[in-house]
Amino acid sequence: MALGQSKAAKEDPEYRARSVALKLLARREHSRQELRLKLMQRKLMPEVIDPVLDEYEEEGWLDDARFADVYARQRMDLGYGPLRIESELQQRGVFQRPECMTDISDQQWADRAIQARRRRFGLGMRALEAREEPDDDLVT
């Protein structure tokens, strides 16, 4: 037995829920919905999961606002736009826009989109302007 833990304690569903949740949170931030889903995938019952998650929220170990901020910053660094990030957050059970996204103006989002396009495709403004000119050969 590791560190004096009895076999009965390890088989206790509440102990198991606490242990698994804490290990998952130690790796990275999770939303409440993500963590609940992962615990349910491990065959733990909702009546055991919800009190544990409530306690972890009270302790500050589980925080959807913090998760949203960290997640949004990572996605912004990868070049994702606000609609995509908000959609992904909603899929993870977070329905509020993180503060790091509200601090960015529409012009800054547009500049980020231009930078992302340049990184991905290497197109400059001249190449885009040349592509937008209508062909005289085409008759419609």
CA distance 54 to 67: 16
CA distance 73 to 68: 8
Question: Which domains occur in the chain, in start order?
Answer: 2-59 (1.10.10), 64-118 (no CATH)
pLDDT at 119: 86
- Decide which of 90 and 122 is more confident: 90
pLDDT digits (tens, 9 = 90+) for 95-134: 999 999 999 999 999 999 898 888 888 866 666 566 666 5
pLDDT digits (tens, 9 = 90+) for 22-39: 999 999 999 999 999 999
pLDDT at 130: 60
pLDDT at 1: 42
| Burial grade of 37 (CB within 10 A; 0-12, 13-18, 19 or more) | middle
